[in-house]
Amino acid sequence: MHRALLRVQKFQKYTARCLSDAGKAEKLAEFSEKSKYAIRTLDNSSPIEKRSLSRGFAMNRFEKDFMIYPEYTDSDDVRNIEGFVDILQKSLNLSVDSKIIEKEGNLSSEVIETLRSNAIFSVSIPKDFGGIGMKNKEISKVFEELSIDWNIYTSAHIALQVSNILTIYGSDEQKSKYLTSLSEGKLRPAVAIVKDTNGGKCELTAGPQGKSMLNGENIRVIGHHNANFYVVFGDNKGEQTCFILDETELATTDKIKFHRDETFGLKGTDIGRIELTALVNEKNVLGAPGNGAEISAELTGSGRMPFAAATVGMAKRTLRELSIWCNRTPSRRTDRSVLSDDSRSQRLVTDLALKVYSLESALYYLSGLIDEGLSIVVDIENSLLSMLTRDVLQSIISTQLELVGVAASDSAFPHEKIFRDVTTLLSIIDESADVEQIVLATIATLSRATWFELDALSDLFGLVRFNPSLLNAGRAVFDLGGYIIESPLEKNW
């Protein structure tokens, strides 16, 4: 939805929360520890249009309070997050060398120190446990910068997911112990890839002296290098339970053995399989026994917005690099012109720029909507955001292949590593066919089929030649040196 339409009116009673809004956070505490990505939190005591944007649309109902573009009400708050991100960006540019990360197979101590000093592992952890307690808009802005290398993004992404499920489902003791350690960078988490279809299993059986034994083999995990904290899911009589295992608390008879996979990309991230045998008790259970499926769904849902934000950041860098490349590379069609003069190049970049604009707008709208503290669920919208994210990533790869050509596959260029990292990440991220995705897929199939036919006709009859305005966005990217549209957070300021 166009940003201008979303900003038709603003309501003072729903003001955006930000880094300096400590007082407002207390009033909305009851919502802060509830998942916004699961239908289980849907409040049935109020009309459907007040609880879910998409469900309200389906019933031909719309809540006027949603007809805003959630934004900061104070320019100081904008400057706070921009200053934070500016320092992070400069620190990453100085410390990150993707070739070294790829060669050594892990993040260097300098990169890890950069992440720690910029409090990246604690952005979503409540202040009571040593974190910053950022809201979704601010986290999204931070994650735009972390896609400078997808290994860095993955490490921060896993830390955020683990802190989120600990905040929602953890006991007071678990929160106090693990969230504090995570914010200090002492905890190096790894998470089981729940819906892995390659034969992994983890079962809870009876152990000695009335205790329970967790036995697992071939469990696929992704996590920090040399992980010391694991989130796994064990089956017990047909029910799935989430367990947290801290290596420092394991008994002498317990073991967790990690076997690293030789992945296509993300070579600076530990992706592999574990074998484990551990005695567990109620202190190792996250949430309630049997709610593993719910927690795994929360892991998936809570990771979609940061992933979208990282994709937006990557897309902006890509458009900037493509602008430089196309303005310097001779045209393959006409003499004495450059690649940026070709209508085909302009159209490819136009398509990508428009997709980035749509994704960025949707991301910050949903992030801001959650930050408003409304009792809503955005499970359907979150799935749509995931689809848009994948579409943008695929467009980034295809556009670079089309415009950069053979050089895109040359290992001397950064594009080749990015392709491998993105492909590996997309293959790992759990995007199962949940109910809302099936509905969206049905609608998308119809709309995409119609769009494909119109697009084909446009190419067939050369309509682009008669409608040069369709190329304006791509031409602007080349002329201005990249994607220079202001961030939604800066819109009013």
Name all domains of the chain by residue range, CATH numbers in brackets.
78-187 (1.10.540.10), 190-289 (2.40.110.10), 295-429 (1.20.140.10)
- C-beta of residue 266 within 8 angstroms of C-beta of residue 421: yes
Residue 14 has pLDDT above 70, yes or no: no
Higher model confidence: residue 17 or residue 401? 401
Whole-angstrom Cα distance, residue 263 to residue 76? 44
pLDDT tens digits, residue range 156-179? 999 999 999 999 999 999 999 999
Residue 33: how many CB atoms within 10 A of its CB?
A: 12
Residue 191: pLDDT band (50, 70, 90) is: very high
Percent of the chain clearing pLDDT 90 (strictly above):
36
Beta-bridge mates of residue 242: 233
Strand (E) or helix (H) holding 161: helix 150-169
**Nearest C-alpha neighbor of 139 from the set 161, 123, 153:** 123
pLDDT, position 6: 39
Give the side-chain half-sphere CA count within 13 A for 159. 33
Distance of CA 328 to the CA centre of its chain: 33
Distance separating alpha carbons of residues 300 and 161, to the nearest angstrom: 8
User: Residue 36 — pLDDT band, cuts 50, 70, 90?
Assistant: low
Q: How far apart are the first and last CA of the chain?
A: 21
**pLDDT above 60: residue 95:** yes
- In this prediction, residue 84 carries a pLDDT of 94
What share of the chain in percent tops pLDDT 70?
Answer: 79
Residue range 225-240: mean pLDDT, rounded: 89
HEC per residue, the chain: CCHHHHCCCCCCCCCCCCCCCHHHHHHCHHHHCCCCCCHHHCCCCCCHHHHCHHHHHHCCCCCHHHCCCCCCCCHHHHHHHHHHHHHHHHHHHHHCCHHHHHHHCCCCHHHHHHHHHCCHHHCCCCHHHCCCCCCHHHHHHHHHHHCCCHHHHHHHHHHHHHHHHHHHHCCHHHHHHHHHHHHCCCCCEEEECCCCCCCCEEEEEECHHHCEEEEEEEEEEEECCCCCEEEEEEEECCEEEEEEEEHHHCCCCCEEEEEECCCCCCCCCEEEEEEEEEEECHHHECCCCCCHHHHHHHHHHHCHHHHHHHHHHHHHHHHHHHHHHHHHCECCCCCCCEHHHCHHHHHHHHHHHHHHHHHHHHHHHHHHHHHCCCCCCCHHHHHHHHHHHHHHHHHHHHHHHHHHHHHHHCCCCHHHHHHHHHHHHHHHCCCCCCHHHHHHHHHHHHHHHHHHHHHHHHHHHCHHHHCHHHHHHHHHHHHHCCCCCCCHHHCCC
What pLDDT, on the 0 to 100 scale, is given for residue 139?
Answer: 95
Token representation of residue 149: 């290398």
**pTM listed for this prediction:** 0.83
Cα 457 to Cα 256, 323, 444, 452, 466, distances in angstroms = 58, 28, 20, 9, 13
Q: How would residue 34 be classed by pLDDT, with cut points 50, 70 and 90?
A: low
Residue 121 and residue 186 in contact, taking contact as beta carbons nearer than 8 Å:
no
| C-alpha–C-alpha distance, residues 299 and 313, integer Å | 22
Give the other-Cβ count within 10 Å of 13's Cβ: 6
Tens-place pLDDT, residues 444-459: 554 555 555 555 555 4
